[in-house]
Structure 1
Amino acid sequence: MPEFAVDGATLTYDDEGPRGGEDVPLVFIHGWTADRHRWDHQMAHFAAARRVIRLDLRGHGESSGTGARTIEELAGDVVALLDHLGVERFVPVGHSMGGMIAQTVALAHPERVERLVLVNSISRMTYSRGRGLLMAASTKVPYRLFVAANIQRAFAPGYPRQEIKEYIRASAATPREVVMTLYSAMRAFDVLDRVGEIRVPTLLVHGYHDIQLPVQQMLRMATHYPDAVIRIIDAGHELPVEKPAELTAAIDWFLTAPTARARS
């Protein structure tokens, strides 16, 4: 896999699909404790017709490095990689924490973002009482148990237990320092009062059964976006792997859908 060195980290990424077409690249950004393979279904589908890029964020998956303490710093890594690849305009697709990164990129570089896709993500972090208690207990239980509890909560009831175990194993490989530091970064994240500045067409797609970031929080965020459409899917927080075909179809539709101004 290709790698890119940036600010003390080495990022592993995939860059696939045809070059030179009219469609701008899609850039897939995974969430907290995950890796770029959350997007396997979407990568296989979209790379058949357009350029598609995905990366492991620093400290995740096959990427090395810690050090990032804010969502802005992670967004800087993404932009640095795209600069390295010569990508000027693109469509960020972010899941959970990746959606926070995508919004940060869109606010910092509006001229470079053509459309925006946010999957199970929000603009202001608000934790439920249960999630708060879980995080408070994180220093008192073995790290793997802490990760397992978070991942179990991420899937809708009925998702195969053996597959959940594999995601727990992969997430537990993320260094504890990275996990806890970026938990604090997400907790501090708040751009709700600024997302009205994001004037590009935006798709907000969410799992109905998401208890990590409940759908009500996304709906509150949606009222601040000037050109947004919403899709609710029968899934939990891990929509890219729980219902990959449905998510891919929603993104596929959105990439050619008319904007709000064209619909009015």
Structure 2
Amino acid sequence: MKLNYQIQGAGQPLVLMHGMFGSLSNLGLVGRGLMARYRVISVDLRNHGESPHAMEMDYPGMADDIVELLDDLEIPRAHLLGHSMGGKIGMQVALNQPERVAKLVVADIAPVDYKPDRHGGVLEGLNALAAARPSSRQQADQLLSEYVEEAGVRAFLLKNLVRADDGHFDLRLYLEGILANYYDTLTLAPTGTPFSGPTLFIKGADSAYIQDKHRETVMRLFPNAQLKIIAHAGHWLHAEKPDTFNRIVGDFLDAGGG
């Protein structure tokens, strides 16, 4: 699948992969912080942003999307950075095709199965938005507030709105494809041969996505992994503490090896 992407900067290639319900703009602060030293390639993952839609949506397939992009750009090897679902995709690439990955950065996700109830209200709210086709962003936010209390989460989700020719707003997300896979394939862990390359996991201290009980699995699949924790940050650590996040990532990528 040919993903939509943007390129900024020059240097060693670094692919940025957003999380569920996001788009390439979600890691914009990361890209701007690193583009002075790296060729930053931000992607819309399948069924998100301006990338193509498909009913098939699993981690091996989405990992193949990233490898296809590298092939199209004639990049034999790149650094990968992914947040949440994007982190699982990055791990899947590394576990399946380690020769394509120089260094791997995984933001607030572990290589484990997760329960499929973490986005329940979000899914219901997005479905309601898609059905209602609101005529203003204020109306969209009011409707979404019935399902999602946190204003910051709503603001993130409403970035998916795009105005149609008739003046109403539609979602760029392909909800049908996401929903068809969310409760099974998208909750699964990436699998494959352990990746021995340099790997950095970054956890938000207030987030429960990476836990102590995951350590054994992490080290089995990524024996050269290290963990950094950002205080006073949750799952959206790259947006909540962008300076700290960028400094940690930059120090890791700039160090020797990989």
TM class by smaller structure: 0.7 to 0.9
**d(CA) in 2 for partners of 1:14 and 1:152?**
30
Unaligned runs of 5+ in 2: 130-142, 162-170
Give yes or no for the alignment of 1:215 onto 2:211. yes
Residues 143-169 of structure 1: CA distance to partner in whole angstroms, max 9, x if unpaired? 248x969x959xxxxxxx544332121
Matched, 1:74 2:62: yes
Instruction: Name the structure where helix makes up a greater proportion of residues.
Output: 1
Provide the residue aligned with 1:167 in structure 2. Answer: 156
Query: Do the aligned partners of 1:208 and 1:215 also contact (CA within 8 Å) in 2?
Result: no
Over 3 Å counting, the alpha-carbon distance change for 1:204 and 1:62 in structure 2 is: same
Q: Which of 125, 129, 132 lines up with 2:117 in the alignment?
A: 132
Q: Does the Cα contact within 8 Å between 2:203 and 2:228 map onto a contact in 1?
A: yes
Partner of 2:139: none
Which of 193, 198, 206 is the matching residue for 2:195? 198
> With structure 2 as the length reference, what TM-score do the two structures score?
0.78
Equivalent position of 2:249 in the other structure: 251
Distance 1:99 1:32 in 2: 10
Q: What is the CA–CA distance in structure 1 between the aligned matches of 2:99 and 2:124, rounded to whole Å?
A: 46
Give the match for residue 224 of structure 2: 227
**Aligned residue in 1 for 2:234:** 236
Aligned-residue Cα RMSD (Å) equals 3.1
Q: Is the CA contact (8 Å cut-off) linking 1:236 and 1:242 kept in structure 2? A: yes
Q: 1:99–1:218: structure 2 CA closer, same or farther, 3 Å change rule?
A: farther
- Name the % identity: 28
Amino acid at match of 2:240: E
Q: Distance in 2 between matches of 1:38 and 1:210?
A: 18
**TM-score, normalised with respect to structure 1:** 0.76
Change (3 A) 1:253 1:144: farther
Q: Which runs of 5+ in 1 are unaligned?
A: 1-5, 154-160, 260-264
Partners of 1:204 and 1:222 within 8 A in 2? no
Contact 1:34–1:61, Cα closer than 8 Å, also in 2 = yes
CA positional deviation for 1:178 = 2.8
Could you tell me how far apart the structure 1 residues matched to 2:32 and 2:176 are? 32
Structure 1 residue aligned with 2:166: none
- Tell me the equivalent position of 1:143: 127
Does the C-alpha gap of structure 1 residues 93 and 217 become closer, same or farther in structure 2, counting only changes over 3 Å?
farther
Matched positions, count:
232
Q: Is the 8 A contact 1:121 1:218 kept in 2?
A: no
